[in-house]
Amino acid sequence: MRLYHNPRCSKSRQAVALLVERNTEFEDYRYLENGIDPNDLDILIPLEGVIRTKEVDKSLGYDLTNAEDIRKLLNENPKALERPILIKNGQAVIGRPPENILVLLD
């Protein structure tokens, strides 16, 4: 289980707290430092709302309805990834609100 986490984000910190409170083992994945794991892209790309549109320079011409453009954007600018995101067994959920991640715990 991997949590895409930005410690500066309050929602992300709340997601970590939820996992810790439930004694859930997870990888605290710092995507801003490590980039997006290439193995996770196929799981992340289809998620509705996976891109933080305010982090995308519109002049670069990314089509946010096109999977390859999203892949390129996330590879080039991990900051554009919404957070937090929990991945477990090939499924992912955006933690907005943070309690959304609980659906993957059972």
Which pLDDT band holds residue 106 (cuts at 50, 70, 90)? confident
DSSP alpha helices (H): ranges in 1-106? Answer: 10-21, 31-34, 41-44, 67-76
CA 26/CA 35 separation, integer angstroms:
18
Q: What is the per-residue pLDDT for 70?
A: 97
Catalytic residue among 3, 6, 8, 9: 9
pLDDT tens-digit profile of 64-101? 999 999 999 999 999 999 999 999 999 999 999 999 99
pLDDT tens-digit profile of 1-55? 999 999 999 999 999 999 999 999 999 999 999 999 999 999 999 999 999 999 9
For domain 2-104, the CATH class is: alpha beta
Question: What is the model's pTM?
Answer: 0.95
User: Which residue has tokens 């982090």?
Assistant: 55
CA 70 to chain centre: 13
Concerning whether 9 is annotated as a catalytic residue, the answer is yes
